[in-house]
Structure 1
């Protein structure tokens, strides 16, 4: 992935190994934080529309399921960082489904990425160093650029990437 240095990739892999050990709880925390910080995002989830509190989110099994999906997708991306074609293969069906089926605006991915960084910062404090944070920002920038291009053009125009 073009703008990522080897140090960035190592930062991401090392940090991700720790985060993914507890993927279910970390994914749940990300979804809950997304809905708390950006309640407007809940409108895309028919099962969450009537959920009004953090307590209800904590108890909702679908929050855990969706959090796990987010973590699994990120895990595939982290595992494929050296192969942009593989990353495109992961993101394309995800982008297509969110755009065409769920009608989720692309800006919601930016909200999700920022939420993930905020969850990492809050949960991990000093161990989420400025260097690690910057590496994640670079990854999320690349992913968002792909998603934005996908949303505004055809999926074919997205196949060339930062490699």
Structure 2
């Protein structure tokens, strides 16, 4: 999905605020995904799924850090996340349908915590960004 200059502007305007609380917001998005789509828990057999567990916060930070890296490379998301794509496709064998589930929860979390910044243009830009990230992470499955 092509990100326009306007999309990139909106992403770069809001993402640093999200990334500053990566473990918290990433963890919140993961927790929401696990609660809304329990089948996604199968990849985390040893996790404590309670909302603020160290497992949720640590993995939330990993998710946020990866998205932050992608945000810093909006013109080359595929190259930036290539190793992560390999990991999820070949080693972890994560169901590719899980990425859109998490992307949706990330949008929800951003909307909750940044209601004034989460206008329609920012919503559209972040959605396109997260779809792009999901597409990259599932590209090795084909």
Q: Same fold (TM over 0.5)?
A: yes
Secondary structure of 1:95's counterpart equals helix
Larger Rg, first or second structure (1 or 2): 1
Give 2:4's aligned residue: 5
Give 2:60's aligned residue: 67
Unmatched runs of 5 consecutive residues or more in structure 2: none
Q: CA deviation at 1:46?
A: 1.5
Q: CA deviation at 1:59?
A: 4.2
Q: CA RMSD in A?
A: 1.7
Give 1:19's aligned residue: 18
Give 1:156's aligned residue: none
Secondary structure of 1:139's counterpart equals helix
Q: CA deviation at 1:101?
A: 1.9
For 1:47 and 1:26, how far apart are their aligned partners in 2? 21
Where do residues 7-156 of structure 1 align in structure 2 (5 Å cutoff)?
Answer: 7-48=6-47, 51=48, 57-82=50-75, 84=76, 87-152=77-142
May I ask how many residue pairs the two structures share in their alignment? 142
For 1:40 and 1:145, how far apart are their aligned partners in 2? 21
User: In the alignment, is the contact (CA less than 8 A) between 2:28 and 2:60 conserved in 1?
Assistant: yes
Unmatched runs of 5 consecutive residues or more in structure 1: 153-163
State the Cα deviation string for residues 100-144 of structure 1 (Å, max 9, x = none): 222211111111111111111223224311110100111122222
Q: 1:145 to 1:22 in 2, by over 3 A?
A: closer
State the Cα deviation string for residues 35-76 of structure 1 (Å, max 9, x = none): 11111101110222xx5xxxx513421111100000100010
For 1:4 and 1:117, how far apart are their aligned partners in 2? 17
Q: Which runs of 4+ in 1 moved over 6 A?
A: none
